[in-house]
């Protein structure tokens, strides 16, 4: 075998590679693809699922190419085998212009392709569920946006609904088929708001309003975890949220707004960021509303949108 010509080896390698790569890609696409996390609960979740699948379909043939080559080389050209050829030294073994240029060209094309794909997938779905900072530049086209403020503090998540009188809840309820605008901020250290099934992640920074968008598409329960180390109980900083129908959401939001009106009065007035009273004695909070991102937010303050 080792006496074979170069074309002989090449042809055999390419055949094995094509067969394996196509087979594995098909298996992945049909068997694994639909189950790739984080699911399809929101636009950003299914976007992440689609991107992961596409990247994996590209990565798999690359990995298979390298593995097939290694396996072939390690078996065919092992030195202990009887009659193993003395390898060929000299300038020919030191580099082959065509192969090197081809390698660089191929990797460059793949990398640029992956970059263009990733950028489109980031810009078109309005930031793909990632935190865009206080001044987002890729925003959803919908004018029917529900703003929700996510407040991280050691070691709990709370949520304020500014279009419902700014009440604060420990439950994250979202209406289905709605674009949600998360305003993520923190009262103490850096946390990271990771709504796993929603495909949303944005760091909660003190004194900063970090905005992320997503559109809910399926009903169900989701987990919110903190994914940035925030101290002692970081591992226990999680709770659950639900995506419910629009009607259910309005019933919940309006009743909660009524029930917690007494408490809402005691809270600092709604603001996109809060400053802990570091110098005061009572450890209170002040609004720190410095020129926030101002999109039209008229999400059904009084009535459900149809």
Partner 1 sequence: MALDMRESIGADFSGDTAPPGPRVRRLPKWLGPHLGRALVGAVGGYALGHFLGNSIASGYENVQGNGQNDVATVLALSIGVVGWLVGAGMLDYPVAKIFGREPLPPTPSKSWTRYFGPALDHKIIGLQYTVVVLLFFFTGGLLAMAIRTELLSPTNHLLGPGTYISVVSEHGTIMMMMASSIVIGPLGNWLVPLMIGSRRMAFPRVESFSLWIFAAGYLVILTALPLGGFPTGWTGYAPLQTQATAGMDAYLVGFAVIGIGMICAGFNLLATIINYRAPGMTWDRVPIFVWSVLATGALLTLATPTLVAAGLFGVLDRTAQTAFYVNEHGGSSFLWENLFWFFGHPEVYIMALPGFGIVAEIMPVFTRKPLFGYRIAAAGMIGVSLLSFFVWQHHLFQSGINPDMRPLFMLTTELISIPTGFIFLNTMGTLWKAKIRYEVPMLFALAMSFNFLIGGISGVFLSDVPVDVTVHGGFFVLAHFHYTIMGGLVFAFFGGLYFWLPKMTGKTMSERLGKWHFWTMFIFFNFTFFPLFLVGLLGQPRRVFEYAQNLQTLNDISSVSAFCLGASFIIFVVNFVWSMFIDPKPASRNPWNSRGLEWQTPMPVPPYNFTRIPVVLADPYHYGQADAREVADLGPRTLALTGAVASEAPSAVGSHETTGEEGSGDPRPPIA
> Site for partner 1 (CB under 8 A): which residue of 18, 24, 173, 190?
190
Q: Which of 162, 140, 178 is nearest to 301 (CA)?
A: 162
Whole-angstrom Cα distance, residue 108 to residue 3? 34
Residues whose CB falls within 8 Å of the CB of residue 56, separated by 6 or more in sequence, listed in order:
28, 36
CB of residue 60 to partner 1, shortest distance in Å: 9
Q: How far apart are CA 282 and CA 285, in angstroms?
A: 9
122 interacts with partner 1 by CB under 8 A: yes
**Euclidean distance between CA atoms 238 and 215, whole angstroms:** 22
140 lines the binding site for partner 1 (CB under 8 A): no
Give the range of 17-25, 116-124, 141-149, 247-255 binding partner 1 by CB under 8 A: 116-124
Does 216 sit near partner 1 (CB under 8 A)?
no
Residue pair 147/163 in contact (Cβ under 8 Å)? The answer is yes
The verdict on 111 binding partner 1 (CB under 8 A) reads yes
User: Rounded to 5 degrees, what angle do the CA atoms 26, 31, 35 make?
Assistant: 125
Binding mask 25-64 for partner 1 (x = CB under 8 A): -----------xxx-----x--xx--xx--xx--x--xx-
**Nearer Cβ to partner 1 (74/266):** 74
Instruction: Indicate which single residue of 125, 140, 147, 152 sits in contact with partner 1 (rule: CB under 8 A).
Output: 125
Contact status: 90 vs partner 1 (CB under 8 A): yes
Answer for which of 22, 23, 27, 66 binds partner 1 (CB under 8 A) is 66
> Token match 């699922």: residue?
49
Stretch that binds partner 1, among 140-148, 160-168, 171-179, 225-233 (CB under 8 A): 225-233
Q: Show contacts with partner 1 in window 149-178 (CB under 8 A).
A: none
Confirm or reject binding of residue 183 to partner 1 (CB under 8 A).
no
Burial of 129 (0-12, 13-18, 19+ CB in 10 A): buried
């Amino acid at each position: 075998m080792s006496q074979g010509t170069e074309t002989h080896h090449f042809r055999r390698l390419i055949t094995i590679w094509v067969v394996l790569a196509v087979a594995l890609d098909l298996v992945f696409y049909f068997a694994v693809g639909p189950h790739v996390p984080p699911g399809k609960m929101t636009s950003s979740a299914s976007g992440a699922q689609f991107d992961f699948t596409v990247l994996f379909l590209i990565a798999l043939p690359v990995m298979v190419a390298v593995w097939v080559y290694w396996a072939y080389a390690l078996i065919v050209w092992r030195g202990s085998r009887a009659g193993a050829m003395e390898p060929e030294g000299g300038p020919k073994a030191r580099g082959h212009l065509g192969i090197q240029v081809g390698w660089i060209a191929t990797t460059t094309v793949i990398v640029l392709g992956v970059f263009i794909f990733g950028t489109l997938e980031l810009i078109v779905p309005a930031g793909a569920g990632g935190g865009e900072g206080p001044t987002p530049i890729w925003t959803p086209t919908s004018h029917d946006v529900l703003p929700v403020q996510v407040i991280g503090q050691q070691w709990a998540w709370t949520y304020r609904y500014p279009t419902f009188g700014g009440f604060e809840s420990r439950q994250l309820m979202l209406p289905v088929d709605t674009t949600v605008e998360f305003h993520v901020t923190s009262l103490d250290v850096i946390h990271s708001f990771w709504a796993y099934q929603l495909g949303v992640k944005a760091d909660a920074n003190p004194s900063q309003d970090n905005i992320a968008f997503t559109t809910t598409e399926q009903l169900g329960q989701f987990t919110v975890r903190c994914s940035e180390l925030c101290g002692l109980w970081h591992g226990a900083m999680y709770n659950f949220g639900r995506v419910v129908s629009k009607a259910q959401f309005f019933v919940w939001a309006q009743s909660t707004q009524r029930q917690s009106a007494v408490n809402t009065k005691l809270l600092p007035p709604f603001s996109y960021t809060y400053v802990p009273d570091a110098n005061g004695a009572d450890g209170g909070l002040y609004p720190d509303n410095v020129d926030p991102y101002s999109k039209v937010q008229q999400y059904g303050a009084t009535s459900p949108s149809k």
